[in-house]
Structure 1
Amino acid sequence: MTDTGAAAVLDDIDARPGSTASLLRTLIGLYLRPLGGWISTADLVALAVDLGIPAAQARTGITRLKQKGLLLAERRDAPGYRLDPSAVAMLERGDRRIFEMREMTDADAWCLVSFSIPESARSVRHQLRRRLQWIGAGAVSAALLICPGHLEGEVEETVAGLGARDWVTLFRGAHPVVEGSVADAAARWWDLAALRAEHLAFQRSLETLPSAPFAAYVHLLDRWRVLPYVDPGLPPAMLPADWPGRRSVDEFARLSAELADAAHAHVRAVVAAS
């Protein structure tokens, strides 16, 4: 598998929150590193069952994650899995997004991404647009994207991972100067209606979290994890006055603080019992 393919598989941006694949990825991303990078198959399945995933379905899902390069089978005292080393950077990047979502101020810098990719590499062009929009870039035009300046490192990683560096130029810039208001421009560059719907759906979903702290915490992370990617955290001047993003951030932080310790204790107890 090429590096480009590996990066695309490991990030798995199409995993639907709430699905078996998504919940297992969230579970593994949260706990395998604190556990030393390895877990027995029996414990991983038991924790999946605690999330509401039937055991047989969990085993199938785990096998698929192994095939996608997130896990490597490794027997120690019992059959189990360890993290694929190539997945660690992706998980660490996800940690920064999920737990440290940044919101821009009106004075913050921007990163502009200009590209001219030949027709012979149109699949790279498609993947570049798709993956940059996944990390929060807006489309100014077909070949010019804009994102918060603090995401420049992620842009560089994405471009390099796709082997597109020769076709891409990055510019660091200050506040965009546009005809009309920057709020109107932001509404053209990003799908703010879809982002609003994502935030409101997340807030509604909090009413249906499981009662047990472990399951509640993993489901919370799984429902939240998309938002810090697709929402770039635009500055106040670019957003409507009633933007729901701040409430989502606050609710996630509040519930995380309430649930995280008990959830970690549950995982340690399951692993210790075996």
Structure 2
Amino acid sequence: MAEPHTPRSLIVTLYGAYGRAPGDAPMPVAELIRLLGAVGVDAPAVRSSVSRLKRRGLLVAARTRDGAAGYALSADARQLLDDGDLRIYRHPAPRLGEGWVLAVFSVPEAERHKRHLLRSRLSRLGFGTAAPGVWIAPAGLYEETRHTLEQLELAPYVDLFRGEHLGFAATGESVARWWDLAALARLHHDFLGTNEPVLRSWESAADAAPDPERAYRDYLLALDSWRQLPYADPGLPRELLPEDWPGARSAEVFGLLHERLRDAGAAFVRGR
């Protein structure tokens, strides 16, 4: 999982939270510097990170209506963010009966560099490893997986299947082999350790009018930490997880922070 709170990560998070205006209007560079400055990123780091995101094809240079220099999301970046919304803001975890999507790939030896890219991308999408060359995830990830593999021009090497697990081991035992559940639980505990105190501080001041800058800052940092978790943990059915699984609580904490802070922080983004 990528490290949260790097300048590049925060810029992507900012566009995901507040940068998808109608028509994908560009965000002025001066505004990017102001908004990232509020979470501790200085102007040179903003400019350097924007340049890297532009080279990766995620941002495109554009002029705002008043002629100021700015950056808008590319079509691919918009698709990535839209796909990400389904995970980041999803509601209940999938039910056991919804089944699985399997990715089976074969890459010619002459193109073996794509083998690593495929494994890396499937892992980042939240797939577990069922067997060599066979990757598995909850069936609800099919559309996002298809979009991602097509964008990376990896689709010709992969076959996707929907199915159910029929044995021979119990599905819960198999899930514990396919994913490192202990590592995923630590990620949830880390998120809770940082963000439960933030939520408590806002709950203790529930009667006070929220400060827009503080709301924006706390929300952006929480979202930047949270948005990567649903990719490491793809939302496995609750019946297959340990009884003390922390994922439900971390999702609840993020949901409460989102409900309380997102719109309050928008006033700071708008500059008032």
TM-score normalized with structure 1 length: 0.86
CA RMSD for the aligned pairs? 2.1
Q: Secondary structure at the match of 2:244?
A: coil
Report the CA distance between 1:111 and its aligned residue.
Answer: 1.2
Q: Secondary structure at the match of 1:103?
A: coil
Q: Secondary structure at the match of 2:271?
A: helix
Report the CA distance between 1:67 and its aligned residue.
Answer: 2.5
Q: Secondary structure at the match of 1:139?
A: strand
Contact between 1:107 and 1:175, CA under 8 Å: does it hold in 2? no
Alignment of structure 1 residues 90-169 onto 2, 5 Å: 90-100=80-90, 103-169=93-159
2:205 matched to which residue of 1?
none
- Equivalent residue for 1:205, pick from 182, 194, 199: 194
Stretch of structure 1 that moved more, 100-109 or 231-240: 100-109
Contact between 1:111 and 1:146, CA under 8 Å: does it hold in 2? yes
Contact between 2:63 and 2:71, CA under 8 Å: does it hold in 1? yes
- Equivalent residue for 2:259, pick from 234, 257, 263: 257
Contact between 1:38 and 1:83, CA under 8 Å: does it hold in 2? yes
Contact between 2:93 and 2:235, CA under 8 Å: does it hold in 1? yes
Structure 1 gaps of 5+ residues are 1-12
1:52 aligns with 2:40: yes
| Equivalent residue letter for 1:247 | R
Contact between 2:62 and 2:69, CA under 8 Å: does it hold in 1? yes
Alignment of structure 1 residues 203-242 onto 2, 5 Å: 203-206=192-195, 209=198, 212-242=214-244
Alignment of structure 1 residues 179-198 onto 2, 5 Å: 179=169, 181-198=170-187
**CA shift in 2, pair 1:165/1:40, >3 Å:** closer
Report the CA distance between 1:190 and its aligned residue.
Answer: 0.5
Contact between 1:110 and 1:174, CA under 8 Å: does it hold in 2? yes
- Equivalent residue for 1:68, pick from 49, 53, 56: 56
* Residue-by-residue CA offset, 1:117-159 (whole Å, 9 max, x unaligned): 2211212121112111211111011111111111111222233
Report the CA distance between 1:101 and its aligned residue.
Answer: 5.4
Q: Secondary structure at the match of 1:64?
A: helix
1:9 matched to which residue of 2?
none
1:8 matched to which residue of 2?
none
Alpha-carbon separation, structure 2, partners of 1:162 and 1:269: 37
Alpha-carbon separation, structure 2, partners of 1:53 and 1:159: 33
Alpha-carbon separation, structure 1, partners of 2:157 and 2:37: 47
Contact between 1:135 and 1:229, CA under 8 Å: does it hold in 2? yes
Alpha-carbon separation, structure 1, partners of 2:12 and 2:189: 24
Stretch of structure 1 that moved more, 52-61 or 133-142: 52-61
Identity within the alignment, %: 39
Structure 2 gaps of 5+ residues are 202-212
TM-score normalized with structure 2 length: 0.86
